[in-house]
Structure formats: structure tokens, C-alpha cells
Structure 1
Amino acid sequence: FDLVIYQIGRPVVFSLAADGETGVRKVLKMLHDELEITMALCGCCSLKDITRDHVVTEWDRPRIAPRL
């Protein structure tokens, strides 16, 4: 959860420093739009439609044994 806050909080703080309230509004709009696009590409119409099956982590990827 801390990583999520960091990934959202950092751009907000930077935009606040750079352009004040207008900058924060811009970055939040960008994050909103990116989430909407990503959800559409995954076939999700709402946040409730997102399931564990939509989330892929590095542990989910098949591992190939290193060459000896």
C-alpha cells in the first residue's frame, strides 16, 4: 500500500510545487484518464470489475531456469 501512495503522491507533490492547484488538478486528471484507458483495455467498466486476475506481478510470470 505504501508504494501506491508513493506512486500517486509524488507526482501530486511535484505538480503542486511546479504549478500550484492547477498543476495538481492536471496531474490528477492525467491519472484518472490513464486509469480509465487501462480499465477499458482490460474490459472493466468500473473499479468493482477489477479482480485479482487483472493484476500481474513479477511472481506470476513463468520463470526460466538460468543456464549453468
Structure 2
Amino acid sequence: IGRPVVFSLAADGEAGVRKVLKMLHDELEIIMALCGCCSLKDITRDHVVIEWDRPRIAPRL
């Protein structure tokens, strides 16, 4: 979250920060709806996939 906020602050000041935070909020709402979550409390560890959780056919070179 840090970089987009800092970049938008540098580019457009407070208005830029408001825009990027609104975008992040809207994206989170869409993602939560697609996952069937109505609130942040509904998000569990099962909803989060991190790099080492994914099975691999071959190791990365």
C-alpha cells in the first residue's frame, strides 16, 4: 500500500492520495465479493495464497 500512496502524493498531492486509497478500497470490495466475503472478519487463511503455498512441478532455476 505504501508505494502507490507515496507516488500519488508526489504526483497529485492530497487529491492523488484520496484517489489511490479509493481505488484500493474499491478493488478490495470487489475481491471480497468474488470470494464470498461480506466483511474483513470473513477473510480466513484459506482465502490467502502466498508463493510457497502453490505446488510446483519443478523447482525455480
TM-score normalized by the length of structure 2 = 0.88
Are the structure 2 counterparts of residues 18 and 65 from structure 1 closer, same or farther at C-alpha, using a change threshold of 3 Å? closer
Unaligned runs of 5+ in 1: 1-7
* Per-residue CA distance 1:8-32 (angstroms, 9 max, x = gap): 1111111111111100000000000
Please give the alpha-carbon distance, in whole angstroms, between the structure 2 residues aligned to 1:48 and 1:26: 25
SS of 1:59's partner is helix
Unaligned runs of 5+ in 2: none
Aligned Cα RMSD in Å? 2.3
* Count of residues in correspondence between the two structures: 61
Are the structure 2 counterparts of residues 43 and 30 from structure 1 closer, same or farther at C-alpha, using a change threshold of 3 Å? same
Deviation of 1:63 (Å): 2.1
Show structure 1 runs of 4+ deviating over 4 A: none
Larger RCO: 1 or 2 (CA < 8 Å, sep 6+): 2
Please give the alpha-carbon distance, in whole angstroms, between the structure 2 residues aligned to 1:63 and 1:21: 43
